[in-house]
Structure 1
């Protein structure tokens, strides 16, 4: 019986079998309680410790000498950390955090570069039942602060700095700005670059807190629904949403999907996911999924073009990487750099390639297959979200694949494409992607805002989770993702709301009004294009505005273009018609303007940009 048939025959038993791949301190009474929908309870009454499942049980199984992490720094420094060493490091860190008076349920914010301490900190939190909130290292102090305040974090773990493009970039000054006047009692600082930092009574060096601790720690088990982490994602209202994930169901699906989608062979594979732990891909497919499966993986701190454009291929060759999981944005960048670069390295160890973060265009898929996979590696094009917690739609290795299509829901997952009325569409038809059955790693809510959770995800279609993406079936019934249908842009696989960028622009003293759209970009998937109206007497310092957004939100949100316009196209109710601005940004003929309060506005915009 294959996995699809097994899941269709008895879905609860299918997920119970996946959960039994983990180690549970006590079993569950029910696989799923959906009585309080849309809030699910999975593996009801079961108890486990997530960090024990990711580390200790592999050591107890005699795999302590297996390398868990091959860490590679941008400059070429490296560390190999075995599961036994990881167990000792996580235990020390857990003892250190416990010594600060933290108790299960407390929140810990983490903003670190891609260094082993980031993984250790996350696992130490999971070990103690602390709820971690990891913030991407490139986010600004204001973005970090908003997340700290929303979660009421008691501790921030950060670093003095990080290495990026061959230089040291400070992090501690931004952390100091972010925590001022917040709930944070302690700032724990990893010494990474050795740069001098300002120091206060709340600051502690990681090595002073952790290194002297005992390297043994007995983990406590927690309920399957105990909160594991909050991860903030952009929302259409501009205020980031704290997506809450719990322990048992999340770890079950992260481990299951990591195993089956990549055809994982933990005794021989070397796996590399190129994401950052600040995003959900890093949570599920760098930390929790691979480590729960006892995998050996590569973690890289640095950029793909430092010190040269062959850096990723050099790392694949060095470690004999067999599974490579990356984003279409990076694949398109490799294409731009040229096929001669990967051709200069031995990539023969690769056997499975993965794509994540956005729909991959067929041209990039074919280039990836030919020039990275030598035409012999299956490509698993995975669709999922921060909210889903783990992969939902993807072909399995060995299946006949189609360039650019995620194809079908994974075994145990229910997905459908519906029209405006929530009625399933047929082959060849386009509609909205929905999830029609609960799944173990589903979000359990938006932190502190249950009404927003229901309104955002469950109000559009009765009984269905609305993913916010458009999709279509082809004539074979395979799924093709078409991207976002709301006002959240997908830039290099990172979700950024138009409202957040607009708010940052309007905070500049020269900007009276702003509208932002995501325009097609052959490298990043979507590029941010901003249309701004300047205040009377202000000059059009476009570069200053781009840098202002980068400072307010982070470099990932820096607009590709800022266009100064005399007016914005609005309906009679005052709603900005972004689709018309998208037409301008993508150099298309402007569509229907009949619903505008003043249709001559588009002519003014065209003249102003001519």
Structure 2
């Protein structure tokens, strides 16, 4: 077992959010706080929302109602609030002129918005949305890169009581449309394009095609990043709509469990799942984790390299603003025009909290330490990472080179359905490389064996033994799938789908997904989406996608193809199928390999056994094959990789 790489100090514990909370609760140690947080959920969460300064338009009647079971908790029943108010207007009396958002474009353009300026811009956007006919409960797609308007849009939609649907800016039209159609979005907010590695990405083309195959979309609202596109009759520019509006607008009083966001995550089968997040859930959980784990303080700046379509985009914006910090957004590539771009921005904007994925760290290491060393990173105080498991070499490089062996790495793992982290790190405990030194306060996490018994020092299922604000309010219009995904393994217990180990010293390690979901460069995608895109090629009869280890991305996709009669395997056909997948899902999700096989391993009820495929491909023991209808297919998988 590795030794700690970082130890607590007064510089991190004194003046922290946790110190204030512990003082209010009369607790003297972090262990006492954590135990209190899971033994008295109502007391802990009431103290937390008070410490965060959350303001209510109507007081709640109680903290938690679980009369419908832990699967369907009702948080703060009777209470009314608005997340946008708590992210913006609440701060105006004492932080109006402080910086709320800093944005940098890949071309070097910089925008700085104070809380007062952001409040006015969000009000104007809210009025513009109302003018377009958007009302409480309507869904609005946000298909944008990280621009100032991305944050403004999300806050404006929430302000009027509508529901936003963030969509990864790298998705092709079909993947975007899948989410728009499921949500029945009425409006799509997009941009005419954005910069990526010096080139202009035509996002509007993909947005138009997505809207064309999404009958519910009535209009497209276009942010003119370049101002070069000729608009169509059902399109309106952001400036034309928003600039003429009043800089004052009301905040809709929302019930605590009213949705504000549908953010989609993929599973192992079927269409993407629309996780439903509510005003007194995800924003409170995000702010709590940013305060209790990352300790972002007023006047500090959070930069998480992400996209609005991944959970960490809304998490950083809503959580960072709710705690009164500054949120930095960046549009482009982290290594353009050279490998020092990321570090140059940290120095230029005084970033105190930097979050990047293990994949990005692995990609930046080959550029050398000089790219980092030539920039002043003395303002950095906390490093963060999420999205996938670490290995020790890049973790230690991040700690030593970027953090200068002084900044803690707050490793963070949870998910879109969680609204934040299940596991994390606290600066009140020593931190060992590549793992986690705590479950998030308020999360009663355990590792369970096959009999649902808690275990230590052995691999088991990561599970949570109670509800928390931020857990999804089911899946959009699919409660049965939600229950089957998280609550069917052990009654009354949230089983997350990760293999984990908790050692006797309280240190956690995650060993990867216990289901078939892929995480490509930290981006979660279901095999069914990749397989559906592959089958769209006219030569493909069947497809099976698996995730395999990748040196840089952490995990990448390999797709096995069964061809229709009359087609023969060839490098050209492999390339064409790969391009078909990329055209539908986006280049970031293009498979590493396309391999041809005569058949796929299946059970007698025709379920494709991806577990067996992955084991055979990697040369591992595939386990019990007795359920297979066609065990000879396994040998074909092995031969395909020779």
Give the TM-score normalised by the residue count of structure 2.
0.91
- Structure 1 counterpart of 2:84: 51
The alpha-carbon deviation at position 185 of structure 1 amounts to 1.7
Separation of aligned partners in 1, 2:189 and 2:584: 21
Over 3 Å counting, the alpha-carbon distance change for 1:383 and 1:557 in structure 2 is same
Which of these residues, 375, 381, 388, is aligned with residue 345 of structure 1? Answer: 375
Separation of aligned partners in 2, 1:419 and 1:88: 53
The alpha-carbon deviation at position 218 of structure 1 amounts to 2.3
> CA offsets per residue over residues 382-425 of structure 1, 9 Å max, x none?
11100010222111124201111123212211111111221212
The alpha-carbon deviation at position 605 of structure 1 amounts to 4.2
> CA offsets per residue over residues 130-156 of structure 1, 9 Å max, x none?
011111111111112121111111111
Alignment of 1:100 with 2:157, yes or no, is no
The alpha-carbon deviation at position 571 of structure 1 amounts to 4.0
Q: Is the 8 A contact 2:170 2:586 kept in 1?
A: yes
Q: Is the 8 A contact 1:353 1:377 kept in 2?
A: yes
- Structure 1 counterpart of 2:293: 261
- Structure 2 counterpart of 1:273: 304
The alpha-carbon deviation at position 566 of structure 1 amounts to 2.7
Q: How does 1:109-508 map to 2 (within 5 A)?
A: 109-180=141-212, 182-200=215-233, 202-267=234-299, 269-285=300-316, 287-425=317-455, 427-508=456-537
Q: How does 1:495-574 map to 2 (within 5 A)?
A: 495-539=524-568, 540=570, 541-574=573-606
Over 3 Å counting, the alpha-carbon distance change for 1:103 and 1:606 in structure 2 is closer
The secondary structure found in structure 1 opposite 2:420 is coil
Separation of aligned partners in 2, 1:142 and 1:331: 30
> CA offsets per residue over residues 330-361 of structure 1, 9 Å max, x none?
11112233223212222222111111111222
Separation of aligned partners in 2, 1:145 and 1:516: 21
The alpha-carbon deviation at position 82 of structure 1 amounts to 0.8
Q: Is the 8 A contact 2:172 2:583 kept in 1?
A: yes
Range 241-250 or range 6-15, more displaced: 6-15
Separation of aligned partners in 2, 1:327 and 1:79: 25
Q: Is the 8 A contact 2:91 2:324 kept in 1?
A: yes
The alpha-carbon deviation at position 599 of structure 1 amounts to 4.0
The secondary structure found in structure 2 opposite 1:157 is strand
> CA offsets per residue over residues 476-531 of structure 1, 9 Å max, x none?
23221111111211111111111111111112111122111100112111110111
Aligned length: 605
> CA offsets per residue over residues 172-201 of structure 1, 9 Å max, x none?
22222212251112211111122324512x
Separation of aligned partners in 2, 1:579 and 1:455: 19
- Structure 2 counterpart of 1:39: 72
Separation of aligned partners in 2, 1:199 and 1:525: 42
Over 3 Å counting, the alpha-carbon distance change for 1:463 and 1:509 in structure 2 is same
The alpha-carbon deviation at position 601 of structure 1 amounts to 3.4
Over 3 Å counting, the alpha-carbon distance change for 1:605 and 1:279 in structure 2 is closer
- Structure 2 counterpart of 1:68: 100
Which of these residues, 77, 82, 91, is aligned with residue 109 of structure 2? Answer: 77
Over 3 Å counting, the alpha-carbon distance change for 1:341 and 1:241 in structure 2 is same
Q: Is the 8 A contact 2:516 2:611 kept in 1?
A: no
Q: Is the 8 A contact 2:619 2:638 kept in 1?
A: no
Return 5+ residue gaps in structure 1 as ranges. none
Return 5+ residue gaps in structure 2 as ranges. 1-26
